[in-house]
A and B are shown apart, each in its own frame.
Chain A
Amino acid sequence: MAGGLVVSDLAVHFPTERGVVRAVDGISFDVERGTRLGFVGESGSGKTTTALAIMRMIKAPGRIVAGSIRLDDADLVQMSDAEVRAIRLRRIAYIPQGAMNSLNPVLPIGRQIADGVIDHLGPQRDADLKALVAESLDRVGLAPTVAAMFPHELSGGMKQRVCIAIGIVLKPDVIVADEPTSALDVITQRRVMDTLGRVQEAIGASLILIGHDMGLMAQFVDELVVMKDGRIVERGAIRGVFQAPEHAYTKMLISSVPDITEGRSFLGTIPTPAEPKPATGAAPSPLVAFRNVSKVYGRDFFGRGGVHALRPLSFELDAGRSAIVSVVGQSGSGKTTLANILLGITRPTTGDVRFEGKSVAGLRGTAALAFRRGVQAIFQDPYGAFNPFYKVDHTLALPLRRFGIATSRRDIYVCMEHACDAVGLDPHLILGRYTHELSGGQRQRLQVARALMLNPKLIVADEPVSMVDASLRATILKSLYDLKARHGISIAYITHDLATAYHVSDYVIVLHHGHVAEAGTPRDVIGNPQHPYTQLLIDSIPWPDPDRHWGSRQSVEDDQRRLEEIAASHQTIVRSRIPGFDLDTAA
């Protein structure tokens, strides 16, 4: 079995103050040449540690304590550091997770492909190197001119393909890809995975794909390994695992992927929405009103040129009714710009944002304070959203004091405990701890609690679940949904995940290049898309069903051409309207 990888009884331990963490606890598997093996599991399951162990890149104090990793007849575990270095890239290539930052920002792409060749094969003639670099770029569908470019000049998808080009330049026997597309939107993801699959077949390597997305696995790998707590709980051919999952954990992973079908709600039992509180007093002005709001970045001194992050957009969100409005689109579609304008962080280039009838741009003093309190944010990265120097109680007490909601120590604690209870966190366990002691899911719920505590009118949630495990996604989305149903808070849900948008939202806006492509109720827009862009987005979702074809019959190149046509057309399709939210497409 030349070029195959056989791992037996591999164990990786990390000594910590609280005892030894058995990150990988005696696992065995093998990959045959030319096949694709998938590793799934949630964070902490040991799948990434397994990948790093194969690369012999476990960082001290962690170490491989037992087992063997055999490539042909050589055991990687027994090799010296120098021997392992010689194996890397030449025989086992690694495609990293964070393609955004995995390339050296100061070296041109060509150099970063060539340096690996030089270090493994010795000095080469310039012409040979150039040809090799061009060939490698060509394999991943990039033009030879990319060699002269720097990482910051490339899009996320291109960077990921460059990482693949680097990995395959020496035609390795094994490719280890660690969540290569977790930061990409579905269209780009399909393109990158298509590239990876084709290259792998062309050079005849075996591929180990690490991931957490059951859908992606179903569409891509031949064989699947499910990991939990450092052990393999299930293993088998992909069809078998999906048709008849044996382990409860596997079943849970499969069922936690939201589907777009009527009837089965992925949020579980949803409380019947409380009757919207009738608006008190005279006819109120809308909670939020956008009037021809647009944002252009990088304009020159005379207001020329620039990139349109958001094309003129007008809508009104009523104060009386609460609604969840989802804004979906690829990265670069302008959805985060829209969120930041809503939060008052970004100033629109044109147009006027009004909050309860007052222009946000001119708010000062108490009016500004009321706006800040009324519009709260939940951010994508639960790790970066809290100041690591403060314990949870300090973090939560600060806004309470700042807005004068509670002043006495007693009142502050009552408020905090209420908020924690509301999102399902135990205040006694949470309040006295530092945020880094909490799990990603707990932190994300803490963000919800922090927003809820201030009794806001609108919450802007920017990708609140894209960095948490699938099993937690439902819990967090449910607590968001509760905010609307129980507390009457409107939510702007910004996401690239159409499936979750389908389940939580009352209204969906699909953005493409800053332009509204399609808008309407989720049942219309996502359940039965009419705009070619929405169709393409939904088409590109990898479904957790090996028999369901991923993407349309067209090739990814066709998709790319379609995207360009769509961008040029500037077509807006409004499918339906709901009371309380009024999108104005006259402009």
Chain B
Amino acid sequence: MALSDLLRRLVLLAAVIWTAMTLNFILPRITGRNPIIEKLMDSADSGGANEYDFDQFVAAMNARFGFDRPILHQYLDYLGDLVTFDLGYSIANFPTRVGDLIASALPWTIGLMLTSTLIAFVLGSILGALTVWFRSSRLLGFFVPVIMVLAAMPFYLVGLVLIYVFSSLLGWFPASGGFVETRTVTSGWDFYLDVAYHAVLPGLSIVLASTGVWALSMRGMMVTVQGEDYMTFADAKGLNLRRVFLAYGVRNAILPQVTMLALFMGQVVTGAVLVEVVFAYPGIGFLLLRSIQINDFTTIYGVVFILILTIGFSMLIMDLIYPLLDPRTRKSRA
């Protein structure tokens, strides 16, 4: 039964991925812009090619990328290529493969975004729960409005403030980049320390901006849970307050948070575009932004495909582990 269940989920996942891939195929194309021409216009502006070469070159490139073939063929090729993880060549950076572009950008994003999102999740959930539990505490009472303000601020705004204060004014941290650009050795402790040093401000901006969101939703859930009959009964049992808080309160309030975390995984990449732009961080959001600017659809396809997979699989993983967290979603064993 568990196997057929898993199978059903996998089929559903495949359907979701296929739908998203199809949309992804159509959207850049209806803009009607040809990235090859735009790329050439760019180089043409800087002088060089003549009219005759230009047309010939466009035709050759169109043939190279298969844009001269019927749209249905292109679509089928597109599906086939992606499914076999053949992401092809970038149009804008022609000789470079999309796979390589992504491979060099992805670790940065995962390192920065995933870590800071998880930190924000844990920090926010704890803070949110505590503000409800110690309602009369002055210190925590002070946190609530702060949390609300932070939750309302977008990542990049926090980022700009941080850059201004800690980089421009105080000069404690670098304002941009993933590491010192002049560096030649890209491994070893020295390098990782440098990376961590560069990650402080962008990471902090994400943590600050999203901790508030997690804290607010946790706070809301905690308030709801506090009104539940089982909390009253736990109280009537004279249980340790710590147990009532953790095993009865937090344990139940955290459930919707976990679902939200899975949905948030997609945002880990897309929502961070602006942070990566503000900090000129060499991550995947930055790559996606550049590709969209010149409608480099092979790269867009590649990046979005990776995004779709991330979201799809994080939902699947969540589906699989959720029954461990919430027995009510387990299939009855009758």
B238 touches A102 (CB 8 A): no
- On whether the beta carbons of B238 and A86 are closer than 8 Å, the reply is yes
Whether the Cβ atoms of B233 and A87 lie closer than 8 Å is: no
Chain B, interface SS category: helix
B228 close to A (CB within 8 Å): yes
Q: Which of A90, A100, A103, A108 contacts B238 (CB 8 A)?
A: A90
CB-CB contacts of B209-234 with A at 8 A, as 1s and 0s?
00000000000000000001110111
**Shortest Cβ distance from A148 into B: residue:** B333
30 contacts between A and B (CB under 8 A): A85-B238, A85-B239, A85-B241, A86-B238, A88-B236, A88-B238, A89-B238, A90-B238, A93-B236, A94-B236, A96-B229, A96-B233, A100-B229, A101-B228, A104-B234, A104-B248, A105-B230, A105-B252, A105-B326, A106-B252, A106-B326, A108-B327, A115-B237, A115-B247, A116-B237, A116-B239, A119-B239, A150-B328, A152-B328, A166-B233
* A106 with B327: CB separation less than 8 A: yes
Distance (whole angstroms) from the CB of B135 to the closest CB of chain A? 10
| A398 at interface by CB-CB < 8 Å | no
B230 close to A104 (CB less than 8 A):
yes
Please, which residues of chain A bring their CB within 8 A of the CB of B237? 88-89, 94, 115-116, 119, 166
A275 within 8 A of B: no
Q: Which chain B positions have C-beta within 8 A of A88?
A: 236-238
Contacts of A104 in B (CB 8 A): 230, 234, 247-248, 251-252
A87 to B237, CA, bound (A): 9
**List of A residues within 8 angstroms of B255 by Cβ:** 106
CA distance A369 to B166 in the complex (A): 65
Closest 5 A/B residue pairs (Cβ): A88-B238, A94-B236, A101-B229, A150-B327, A85-B238
Bitwise, B303-321 to A at CB < 8 A (1) or not (0) is 0000000000000000000
User: B327 to A57, Cβ gap below 8 A?
Assistant: no
Q: Which residues of B have CB within 8 Å of A452?
A: none
CB distance from B181 to the nearest CB of A (A): 50
Distance in angstroms between the alpha carbons of A240 and B320 in the assembled complex? 62
Q: A104-B230, A105-B252, A106-B251 are in contact. Are A57 and B238 (CB under 8 A)?
A: no
Q: Which of A94, A119, A150 contacts B233 (CB 8 A)?
A: A94
Q: How far is the CA of A97 from the CA of B255 in the complex (A)?
A: 26
Chain A nearest Cβ from B222, distance in angstroms: 15
In the complex, whether A557 has a CB less than 8 A from a CB of chain B is: no
Chain B residues touching A, range? 20 to 34
Please name all residues of chain A whose beta carbon is closer than 8 Å to the beta carbon of B228 when the two chains form the complex. Answer: 101
A17 at the interface (CB under 8 A from B): no
**Interface-centre pick from B238, B247, B325, B326 (highest chain A CB count, 10 A):** B238
Which of B232, B251, B332 counts the most chain A CB atoms within 10 A? Answer: B232
Whether B235 sits at the interface, judged by CB under 8 Å, is yes
B240 within 8 A of A: yes
Q: Report if A101-B230 is in contact (Cβ < 8 Å); known contacts: A57-B236, A86-B238.
A: yes
**Contacts of A108 on B, CB cut-off 8 Å?**
327
Bound CA–CA A103/B229 (angstroms): 8
What is the minimal beta-carbon distance from B331 to any residue of chain A, in angstroms? Answer: 11
- Taking Cβ atoms with an 8 Å cutoff, the residues of B that contact A are 228-230, 232-241, 243, 247-248, 251-252, 255, 325-328, 332
Instruction: Encode contact with B along A153-189: 1 for CB under 8 Å, 0 otherwise.
Output: 1000000000100100000000000000000000000
- Which of B229, B234, B251, B326 is packed against the most chain A CB atoms within 10 Å? B229
Contacts of A100 in B (CB 8 A): 229
**B326 to A, closest residue via Cβ:** A106
| Beta-carbon nearest neighbor of B8 in chain A | A301
- Collect the chain A residues with CB atoms within 8 Å of residue B234's CB: 104
What CA separation (Å) do A567 and B214 show in the bound complex?
50
Measured between beta carbons, the chain A residues less than 8 angstroms from B229 are 96-98, 100-102
Cα of A203 to Cα of B153 in the assembled complex, Å? 60
Q: Which residues of B contact A578 (CB under 8 A)?
A: none
Task: Evaluate contact between A96 and B238: CB separation under 8 angstroms.
Answer: no
Residues of B within 8 Å of A163, CB to CB, are: 233
Tell me if A120 counts as interface (CB < 8 A to partner B). Answer: yes
Q: For A89, what are the chain B residues with a Cβ–Cβ distance below 8 Å?
A: 236-238
Q: A55 in the interface, Cβ–Cβ < 8 Å? A: yes
- The answer to the question of A202 belonging to the interface, with a C-beta cut-off of 8 Å to chain B, is no
| Residue in B239, B248, B252 whose Cβ sees the most chain A Cβ within 10 Å | B239
For the complex, count residues of A whose C-beta is within 8 A of B.
32
Say whether B243 contacts A102, CB under 8 Å: no
Nearest neighbor of A163 in chain B, beta-carbon distance: B233
Residues of B within 8 A of A57 (CB): 232, 235-236
| Bound form: Cα–Cα A163–B233 in Å | 9
Chain B CB within 10 Å, residue with most, of A55, A85, A103, A166? A85
Min CB distance B6 to A, Å, is 15
Q: Smallest CB-CB separation from A107: which chain B residue?
A: B247
Q: Residue of B at shortest CB range from A99?
A: B229
- Report A332 CB to chain B, min CB distance, Å: 15
Q: Is the CB of B243 within 8 A of A119?
A: yes
**Residues of A close to B326: CB separation below 8 A:** 105-106
Q: Report chain B residues within 8 Å CB of A85.
A: 238-239, 241
Residues from chain B with Cβ under 8 Å of A97 in the complex = 229
On whether the beta carbons of A115 and B243 are closer than 8 Å, the reply is: yes
Nearest to B241 among chain A residues (CB) is: A85
Q: Contacts of A90 on B, CB cut-off 8 Å?
A: 238
Do A119 and B328 touch across chains, with their CB atoms under 8 A apart? no
Give the CA-CA distance A107 to B237 in the complex, in Å: 15
How far apart sit A104 and B244, CA to CA, in the bound complex (Å)? 10
Query: A388-436: which residues lie under 8 A (CB-CB) from chain B?
Result: none
Q: How far is the CA of A88 from the CA of B236 in the complex (A)?
A: 6
Q: How far is the CA of A107 from the CA of B246 in the complex (A)?
A: 12
**CB < 8 Å neighbour of B328 from A93, A102, A105, A120:** A105
Docked pose: A189 CA to B327 CA in angstroms: 27
The answer to whether A102 and B232 have CB atoms under 8 Å apart is yes
A152 lies within 8 A of B327 (CB): yes
Residues in A with CB closer than 8 Å to B328 are: 105-106, 150, 152
CA distance A166 to B237 in the complex (A): 8
Residues of the A chain whose Cβ atoms lie less than 8 Å from the Cβ of B252: 104-106
Q: How far is A94 from B232 in the complex, measured between Cα atoms in Å?
A: 10
Q: How many angstroms between the C-alpha atoms of A96 and B255 in the bound complex? A: 25
| B240 adjacent to A119 (CB under 8 Å) | yes
Q: Tell me the smallest distance from the CB of A105 to a CB of chain B, in Å.
A: 6
Cα A290 to Cα B233 with chains together (Å): 44
Which residues of A have CB within 8 Å of B235?
57
Please indicate which of the listed interface residues A90, A98, A163 has the most CB atoms of chain B within 10 Å of its own CB.
A98
A 364-408 to B, binary, CB cutoff 8 A, 1 in contact else 0: 000000000000000000000000000000000000000000000
Q: Which of B238, B240, B327, B332 contacts A87 (CB 8 A)?
A: B238
Docked pose: A85 CA to B252 CA in angstroms: 23
Give bound CA distance, A85 to B248, whole Å.
16
- Interface residue ranges of A85-144 to B (CB < 8 Å): 85-90, 93-94, 96-98, 100-108, 115-116, 119-120
Interchain CB contact (< 8 A) of A96 among B236, B327, B332: B236
Q: How far, in angstroms, from A101 to B230 measured CA to CA in the complex?
A: 6
Contacts of B325 in A (CB 8 A): 106
Q: How far is the CA of A88 from the CA of B230 in the complex (A)?
A: 15
- Since A85-B239, A102-B232, A116-B237 are in contact, a sample of 5 more A-B pairs with Cβ atoms closer than 8 Å, ordered by chain A residue number, is A89-B237, A90-B238, A108-B327, A150-B328, A166-B237
Task: Among A85, A90, A97, A104, find the residue whose CB has the most chain B CB atoms closer than 10 A.
Answer: A104
Considering residues A57, A97, A101, which has the most beta carbons from chain B within 10 angstroms of its beta carbon?
A: A101
Q: What CA separation (Å) do A57 and B239 show in the bound complex?
A: 13
Q: What CA separation (Å) do A94 and B238 show in the bound complex? A: 10
Which chain B residues lie closer than 8 Å to A84 at the CB level?
Answer: 238
A493 to chain B, nearest CB (A): 29
Closest residue of chain A to B240, judged by CB?
Answer: A119
A107 vs B325: C-alpha distance in the bound complex, in angstroms? 10
B149 to chain A minimum Cβ distance, whole angstroms, is 27
CA distance A101 to B248 in the complex (A): 12
Q: Which residues of B contact A120 (CB under 8 A)?
A: 238
Measured between beta carbons, the chain B residues less than 8 angstroms from A86 are 238
Q: Are A119 and B247 in contact (CB under 8 A)?
A: no
Chain B nearest Cβ from A234, distance in angstroms: 28
- Whether B243 pairs with A103 at a CB distance below 8 angstroms is no
